[in-house]
């Protein structure tokens, strides 16, 4: 310690009395060479795939118990303002949820919560839901019966339309039931079923009886999805983007109209026989 103190005092005294060139030489002698100092490299964080969090959320959803419709009735009360108490919304701006599969509803709520499916209102409602809540809400709406509307039977009058003179509902029915192989459009019923009930599970929703306005808005949203959109990370969404891109605006309206009137004939008969 005494040696270091004497050395420091000596250097101080030298700096006070030595000429500038001598001070610079002394400093250079004790300073490390530039080559000996490793440059500090900027650390760039690797991009995080948002689907990592989404897949983790799906895994948690799968761990939840099957939905409890009775518990879901209370939890779904917050949905009633837009979607109706029984899932039959009065406004075509909001989809009918009645009869929708539990798996599909809970999956969509997860996508809203993870902001893959982007909607500010639905993000707010889904943000506080646990996986079990989502399954319970889905189970409740699955027990409700959708109320189908009436398809548009008016004739297409557009002079430039390839469907001129045909009924709108017939154009929609043809595409829904048979597609258009020449344009690579599959039949909608291949995934959604003849009566539009879809398939149990999270992938193929029930769409029969849905508001024509909502169905058209959904198809147009698929059609307008830009390349690189976050929604395309969802493979189910990506399939619909490809199909919708092949449809004309007129065909989207026709399919949507057909969907609004689509229902299971047995359901209609049972309703008609009720007192």
Instruction: Examine the domain organization and report whether 186 and 258 are in the same domain.
Output: yes
Residue ranges for the chain with pLDDT beneath 50: 4-5, 7, 9-16, 21, 270-275
Question: Count of residues for the chain?
Answer: 275
Q: What is the pTM of this model?
A: 0.79
The dihedrals phi and psi of 156, each to the nearest 5 degrees, come to -80, 120
In a domain, 54, yes or no: yes
Instruction: Examine the domain organization and report whether 176 and 259 are in the same domain.
Output: yes
CA separation for the pair 50, 53 (Å, rounded): 6
Instruction: Examine the domain organization and report whether 77 and 117 are in the same domain.
Output: yes
In a domain, 177, yes or no: yes
| Average pLDDT across the chain, whole number | 87
pLDDT on residue 255: 99
Tally of structural domains, the chain: 2
Range of the domain at 253: 168-265
* pLDDT tens, position by position, 29-39: 555 555 565 66
pLDDT on residue 264: 78
Q: DSSP characters for 87-109?
A: S--SSTTS---TT--HHHHHHHH
Residue 84's domain is classified under what CATH number? Answer: 1.10.760.10
CA separation for the pair 141, 24 (Å, rounded): 83
């Amino acid at each position: 310690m005494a040696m270091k103190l004497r050395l420091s005092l000596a250097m101080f005294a030298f700096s006070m009395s030595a000429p500038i060139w001598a001070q610079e030489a002394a400093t250079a002698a004790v300073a490390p060479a530039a080559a000996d100092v490793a440059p500090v490299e900027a650390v760039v964080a690797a991009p995080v795939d948002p689907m990592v969090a989404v897949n983790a959320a799906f895994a948690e959803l799968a761990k939840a118990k099957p939905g409890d419709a009775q518990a879901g009735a209370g939890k779904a009360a917050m949905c009633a303002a837009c979607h109706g108490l029984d899932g039959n919304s009065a406004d075509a701006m909001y989809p009918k949820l009645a009869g929708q599969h539990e798996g599909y509803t809970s999956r969509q709520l997860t996508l809203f919560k993870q902001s893959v499916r982007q909607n500010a209102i639905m993000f707010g409602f889904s943000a506080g839901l646990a996986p079990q809540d989502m399954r319970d809400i889905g189970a409740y709406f699955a027990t409700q019966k959708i109320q189908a509307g009436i398809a548009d039977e008016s004739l297409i009058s557009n002079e430039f339309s390839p469907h001129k003179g045909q009924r709108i509902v017939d154009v929609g029915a043809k595409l829904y039931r048979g597609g258009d192989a020449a344009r690579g459009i599959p039949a909608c019923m291949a995934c959604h079923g003849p009566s539009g009930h879809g398939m149990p599970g999270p992938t193929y929703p029930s769409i029969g009886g849905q508001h024509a306005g909502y169905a058209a808005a959904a198809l147009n949203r698929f059609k307008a999805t830009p390349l690189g959109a976050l929604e395309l990370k969802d493979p189910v969404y990506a399939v619909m983007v490809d199909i919708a891109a092949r449809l004309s605006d007129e065909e989207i309206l026709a399919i949507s109209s057909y969907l609004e009137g689509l229902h299971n004939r047995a359901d209609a008969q049972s309703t008609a026989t009720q007192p």
